[in-house]
Amino acid sequence: MTENLTSVLDFLPQLWEGIQVTLILTLAGALGAMIIALVLGLSMTSNHAWLRIPARIIVEFFRGTSLLVQLFWLFYVLPLLGVELDPMSCGIGALALNYGAYSAEVVRSSILTVARGQWEAAIALSLSPARRMIRIIFPQAWALMIPSLATLLIQLLKGTAVVSFITLQDLTDKINQLRMSTNDTFFSFTVGLIIYFVIAWILQESMNLLERRATARLGRTRPNSRTERRLARRLARGEGGRHDAETAGTDPNGAGGPGSSGGPTGGPHGAGRGVSP
Amino acid sequence: MIWNWEFAAEALPLLLRGFGNTLIATVAGTVIAAILGLVIAVAIRGLPRSVNWIVRLLQAFIRNTPLVVQLLFIYYLFAGIPGLVDVPALVIGIIVIGVHYATYMSESYRAGIDAVPQGQREAAIALSLPPVRTFRDVILPQALRATIPSLGNYAVAMFKDTPFLFAISVIELVTTAQQFGAAKFAYTEAFTLAGLIFLAASYPTSLLIQRLERRLATY
């Protein structure tokens, strides 16, 4: 065990290089996927068939063929057609195309889910179509699409592991090197999986933050947020009555005290302010 | 010059043979995932709080880490255990893919079970059905109705993830395409055909699942 720890410490700079490659692929892939998703997703909501149908075909094509096929196509076939890409661009390109197609579907359905009245109100105010999309529809659709995009972002992170097949030295490749140098499969892969897990967790939390900001900008709270669930639990414990909750807040364990008094009073206070003017 | 029909005709039978392994992995993986997913969902609901966090952590861990790394992990782990060296790579692949997707499917089962109206549970209590019968004969049939389409979607996703078995050198569709491309230097034909086979199999299936979803929709 101690030998393993020292060899990991020796290996740390290399591991960090691998993590960097994985992170660059994830973030650049996500950026590319988002651009593709916006273009294709918006095209798919268009009224013009000449925009909608090609976008639909492209999306179904990249969703239907596997990520690995696309990656190998970019890596092995494009050079034969005279386009030389370095492995990094191949990886980013394949990830962006594949997950962009999935995200386009999310963008499309979120835009169509925005309440009908919002569209009608924007038309009634005679906003131009571009303004209607940018100022009214998209901000609401954005808040709706973030949870699904977060799931896809985690999928994309996991998808980056395949780039080790096209000679890129990402985290997966480095883990394999660590396995060969320590000769301890269980140890090295556990370390690697935990690193992936932590990156996924950080990405998930930052997407939650993004969602909170997007919904707050609309003057709403995030559905089923952590604070909301905490409040619901507290109300369930205090059997609903606000008096009960407040008197109960003072006598149980001291650690819960400040938090529990902050939670419920935030609600009625805000509501009271809303009513008075 | 770019596209050679002779190579394409030569590659197609080989690719279809590789496709056989792809299908075996998908079907067997789906069976494992569907059964194990239900077990995980029931375990998370049924086990006491002090234990079920372990199951949930393990589920989150498998779900949020790459399938490729898990495949390599188990492959090399088995290679180091004397009794398990001879396990074929395809079997290892099926197990790992099955377990990976079981963690996804358990979430669908959970959502399906939660979506059964509370009144059904209350009615079962009023009829004094024992808990096991309530779950097996009242809750589960209704939950499955809502869950089946999303299980189908995961099966299609799994089908598109089977090329990852390339990592542990299972001879499936993409591995065959890569080998053929390398031998004949005919990457264009091999990979394009591989992609088209995937598209031809997965697109009609997802259309079927969409129809199934509409037919099974209750609420």
Transcribe A166-226 into DSSP letters: GT---HHHHHHHHHHHH--HHHHHHHHHHHHHHHHHHHHHHHHHHHHHHHHHTT---TT-H
CA atoms within 13 A on the CB side of B101: 29
Is any Cβ of chain A less than 8 angstroms from the Cβ of B164?
Answer: yes
SS3 A100: helix
Q: Which residue in B120, B199, B193 sits closest to B159, CA to CA?
A: B199
| Cα–Cα distance measured from residue B140 to residue B213, given in angstroms and rounded to the nearest whole number | 18
pTM of this structure: 0.84
| Cα–Cα distance measured from residue A173 to residue A165, given in angstroms and rounded to the nearest whole number | 9
Residue A161 is nearest to which of B69, B79, B198, comparing CB atoms? Answer: B69
Is any Cβ of chain A less than 8 angstroms from the Cβ of B210?
Answer: no
Q: In this complex, do B67 and A66 lie within 8 Å of one another by their Cβ atoms?
A: no
**Smallest Cα distance from B192 to chain A, Å:** 7
Q: Where are the domains of chain B?
A: 5-216
Is any Cβ of chain A less than 8 angstroms from the Cβ of B209?
Answer: no
Is any Cβ of chain A less than 8 angstroms from the Cβ of B203?
Answer: yes
- Residue B172: phi and psi, rounded to 5, are -110, -165
| Cα–Cα distance measured from residue A243 to residue A276, given in angstroms and rounded to the nearest whole number | 22
Q: Which residue in A169, A203, A176, A180 sits closest to A192, CA to CA?
A: A176
Q: In this complex, do A158 and B64 lie within 8 Å of one another by their Cβ atoms?
A: yes
Superfamily (CATH H level) for B5-216? MetI-like (1.10.3720.10)
Q: How many residues does chain B have?
A: 219
| Cα–Cα distance measured from residue B91 to residue B94, given in angstroms and rounded to the nearest whole number | 5
Task: Please report the ipTM that was assigned to this predicted complex.
Answer: 0.88
Those of residues 237-266 in A touching chain B at CB distance below 8 A are: none
* Tens of pLDDT, residue by residue, chain B (219 residues): 577 888 888 888 888 888 998 999 999 999 999 999 999 999 988 888 888 889 999 999 999 999 999 999 999 998 888 888 788 999 999 999 999 999 999 999 999 998 899 999 999 999 999 988 999 999 999 998 888 888 998 999 999 999 999 889 888 888 889 888 888 888 888 899 999 999 998 889 888 988 888 888 765
| Cα–Cα distance measured from residue A249 to residue A243, given in angstroms and rounded to the nearest whole number | 10
